[in-house]
Amino acid sequence: METTHRLAAGDARALPLGSSSVHLVVTSPPYPLVSMWDDGFAVGAPEVAAALANADGALAFETMHQQLDAAWAECARVLVPGGWLAVNIGDAVRTLGGRFQRWPNAARITMAAMRLGLEPMPDLLWRKPTNAPNKFMGSGMLPGGAYVTYEHEYVLLFRAPGVRVQDPGLRRRSAYFWEERNLWFSDLWAGVTGARQARAGGRERSAAFPPELPWRLVQMYSAYGDVVLDPFGGTGTTALAALASGRSSITVERDPSVLAEVPAALREAVPWGRARVAERAEAHRAFVAARTAAGKALAHQNVPHGWPVITRQEAELELWEPDAVGAIAEGVLATHRRFVPPWLV
C-alpha cells in the first residue's frame, strides 16, 4: 500500500483543493481570545487589531471567529458527502476592559458549522490537566469571587450531509477492536498526552496536540487509503497520524517556517506508527488473555491475524504499519506493509 502526504503553504480560508476531495478533516485552529494567537488574527484584519486595542472583547471575539468561519466553509466544500470534521478547540478565559470572562469558542464554532449545513455530532471532552502552580483564579476562599479552573478542551465533531460511499471490504479491513471502541467512543478522553519528539532547531511552542489525539480520530472516522486534511496544519501532527495509519494527508499551513517542520514529522511517523501498531497488537493479546483467564469466551476469529475477537465486525480487521518514506514533488510518498506480530516472527 502507498499513501501520499501533500504540503501546501496556503490559507485555510482558500484551500487549494477541489470540492468533495477529502474524507476527514482533523484540525486545531488558532484559538480566538487566547493571547498567543492575537497577532495572527490581526494580520490583515484592522478590525481585530482595533477591537483588541479598545479592549472590546465581544467585537474581537466575533471578528476573529469570522476568519475561522471562512475556513469552516472551505472544510464543508472539500469534504465528501458523509465525511467528518473534527475540531480541537478550547474556550478562552481572559480579562478585557477590566472584566474577567469566558469566551465560548466551542459554542461559536458549533453554531457556525451548523449554519454551513454541517451536522453536529456528539463531541469529546479532552481532559488536559494544567500543571500551573497558580491554577486557581480569582479571590481564593471568598464565595462568588473565584473562578473554576479550565482543564479541558473539546474535540467538536461534525458530519457533512449525505451518505459516504465506501468500499465495504476496505471499511472492514479498517475496523478497530471492540475494546478500543469502548475506550475511544467514550466522551471523556483522559490521559491523551505526550508531545512529539523535540527536534533540533524545532520550535519551543508550536501548540501541537499529542499525536494520539489525531491518531484516534483517524481510526474512528476514516479507512485505509482515505485522505485526511489539516487546514491549520502547524508542524504536521495530523499528517503524522495519517501516515502512521495508512491514510494519505494534506497539510495546509500559512506560516512557511512552521510548514518546513512537517517533513520531519512525516519521517517520525514511521517509528511512531510501528510502535503504535505493535502496542495495539500487544494490548489486544493482553485483552484476550485476561478475558480467557476470566472464563469469558471470544466468539469470533480474526482471519488475517488469527486472533480471537469479540464481534464479527473485527473478523477482517488488518493492522498495517509504515514501511518507508521518500520525497516527491508535492511532499512525501509512504509505503506500508501488513503487520506481523513479533511473537510470530
Ligand X SMILES: C[S@@+](CC[C@H](N)C(=O)[O-])C[C@H]1O[C@@H](n2cnc3c(N)ncnc32)[C@H](O)[C@@H]1O
Measured from the CB atom, the residue of 213 and 310 that comes closer to ligand X is: 213
Taking a C-beta distance cutoff of 8 angstroms, is the pair 27, 273 a contact? no
Report the first-to-last Cα separation within the chain, whole angstroms.
21
* Binders of ligand X in range 86-105 (CB under 6 A): none
At 119, the amino acid letter reads E
In the complex, minimum distance from the CB of residue 100 to ligand X, in angstroms, rounded to a whole number: 23
Given 4, 11, 94, 220, the residue binding ligand X (CB under 6 A): 11
Q: What residues from 23 to 52 belong to the interface with ligand X (CB under 6 A)?
A: 28-30, 40
- Residue 241 CA to residue 196 CA, distance in Å, equals 11
202 binds ligand X (CB under 6 A): no
Q: Which is nearer to ligand X, 124 or 175 (CB)?
A: 124
The torsion region of residue 334 among left (phi > 0), alpha (psi -120 to 50) and beta comes to: beta
CB 226 within 8 A of CB 248: yes
From the CB of 150, what's the least distance to ligand X, in Å? Answer: 16
The answer to whether the CB of 72 falls within 8 A of the CB of 118 is yes
Region from 129-137, 183-191, 228-236, 307-315 binding ligand X, contact rule CB under 6 A:
228-236
Backbone angles phi, psi at 36, to 5 degrees: -65, -15
Comparison of 28 and 110: residue with beta carbon closer to ligand X: 28
Of the listed pieces 132-140, 201-209, 304-312, 318-326, which binds ligand X according to CB under 6 A? 201-209
Site string for ligand X, 242-281 (x = CB under 6 A): ----------xxxx--x-----------------------
CA distance 302 to 16: 41
In eight-state DSSP terms, residue 30 is P
The footprint of ligand X on this chain (CB under 6 A) covers a number of residues equal to 20
Q: 153: closest CA among 133, 131, 132, 130?
A: 130
CB of 143 to ligand X, least distance (A): 36
Q: Which one, 75 or 258, has the nearer CB to ligand X?
A: 258
Q: What is the closest distance, in whole angstroms, from the C-beta atom of residue 188 to ligand X in the complex?
A: 21
66 in contact with ligand X (CB under 6 A): no
Residue from 61, 158, 177, 209 binding ligand X (CB under 6 A)? 209
Nearer to ligand X, 207 or 283 (CB): 207
Interstrand relation of 227-230 and 79-89 (parallel, antiparallel or unpaired): unpaired
Member of 73, 125, 207, 315 binding ligand X (CB under 6 A): 207
By CB under 6 A, tell whether 13 contacts ligand X: yes
Could you tell me the three cell numbers for 198?
523535540
Distances from the Cα of 108 to the Cα of 52, 100, 104, angstroms = 19, 19, 6
Q: Alpha-carbon distance 171 to 160, whole Å?
A: 18
Under the rule (CB under 6 A), what is the footprint of ligand X?
11-13, 28-30, 40, 206-209, 232, 234-235, 237, 252-255, 258
